[in-house]
């Protein structure tokens, strides 16, 4: 999965996680390169050794986010049998990435402000991800593990919920890593009583 980890690629990866942290916290504009550099104990200028400019930094964060999302999806499809199982596994794996060692993962909230080529590329990845998720839902409907629903909207709804996690999850505040267990249940189980 990871191409031979050189000093360079490792440091760059740390950088992407630091950037994701800042962007999730204070937004793209709100985060200066100095904010990111501070986390790494570097000077802002040093970041330019790893990326061409700030634009590219967000872009790379988004690519990284897309890759991890895809990875979670791949694993879920491999490991789950029914559509519902796959959905639950996907959620679990993706959330594990978000709140675990690999995290934080950047929220793709500013795709429109990327430059055209980058925007198109990220959008394509993002759409592909949504499509795969919708396909999972359809699979579940077909095999009877999921009730009939508008997969487009259900997908949007669940993905939105997932995307927002970094906004309220901070390992420090009481919530802790039980998200990993709870979250898939909440989303796929709904609020109905008597089903737990």
Partner DNA sequence: AAAAAATTTTAATCTAGATTAAAATAATTC
Partner DNA sequence: GAATTATTTTAATCTAGATTAAAATTTTTT
Which residue in 11, 63, 109, 135 binds a second copy (CB under 8 A)?
109
Q: Which two tokens stand for residue 54?
A: 């700030």
DSSP string, 120-151: HHHHHHHHHHHHHHHHHHHHHHHHTSS----H
For residue 59, the tally of other CB atoms under 10 A from its CB is: 21
Q: Taking Cα atoms as reference points, which of 22, 62, 28, 65 lies closest to residue 40?
A: 22
Q: To 5 degrees, how large is the angle CA 7–CA 93–CA 111?
A: 70
8 vs 164, beta carbon nearer DNA: 8
Which residue in 157, 170, 171, 177 binds a second copy (CB under 8 A)?
157
Confirm or reject binding of residue 179 to a second copy (CB under 8 A). yes
Identify residues 19-58 at the interface with DNA (CB under 7 A): 31-34, 37, 41-46, 48-49, 52-55
From the list a second copy, DNA, none, partner contacted by residue 87 (C-beta under 5 to 8 A by kind): a second copy
Confirm or reject binding of residue 168 to a second copy (CB under 8 A). yes
43 vs 171, beta carbon nearer DNA: 43
Q: Taking Cα atoms as reference points, which of 16, 149, 169 lies closest to residue 8?
A: 16
Q: Taking Cα atoms as reference points, which of 140, 157, 123, 156 lies closest to residue 89?
A: 140
Confirm or reject binding of residue 7 to DNA (CB under 7 A). yes
60 vs 88, beta carbon nearer a second copy: 88
Confirm or reject binding of residue 121 to a second copy (CB under 8 A). no
Alpha-carbon gap, residue 60 to 68, rounded angstroms: 12
Chain-centroid distance, C-alpha 91: 10
- Which residues here bind a second copy, judged by CB under 8 A? 25-30, 84, 87, 109-110, 112-113, 137, 140, 144-150, 152-154, 156-165, 167-168, 175, 178-179, 182-183, 186-196
Q: Contact residues for DNA (CB under 7 A)? A: 6-8, 11, 31-34, 37, 41-46, 48-49, 52-55
């Amino acid at each position: 999965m990871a191409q031979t980890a050189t000093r360079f690629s490792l440091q760059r990866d740390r950088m992407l996680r630091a950037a994701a942290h800042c962007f999730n916290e204070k937004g793209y504009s709100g985060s200066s390169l100095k904010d990111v550099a501070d986390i790494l104990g570097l000077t802002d200028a040093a970041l330019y050794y790893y990326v061409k400019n700030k634009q590219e930094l967000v872009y790379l964060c988004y690519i990284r986010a897309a890759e991890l999302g895809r990875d979670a999806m791949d694993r879920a499809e491999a490991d789950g049998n029914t559509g519902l199982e796959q959905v639950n596994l996907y959620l679990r794996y993706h959330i594990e990435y978000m709140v675990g060692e690999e995290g934080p993962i950047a929220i793709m909230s500013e795709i429109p402000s990327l430059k055209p080529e980058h925007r198109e590329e990220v959008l394509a990845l993002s759409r592909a991800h949504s499509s795969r998720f919708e396909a999972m839902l359809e699979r579940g409907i077909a095999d009877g593990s999921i009730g009939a629903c508008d997969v487009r909207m259900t997908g949007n709804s669940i993905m939105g919920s997932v995307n927002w996690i970094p906004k309220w999850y901070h390992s420090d505040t009481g919530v802790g890593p039980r998200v990993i267990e709870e979250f898939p249940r909440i989303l796929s189980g709904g609020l109905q009583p008597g089903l737990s």
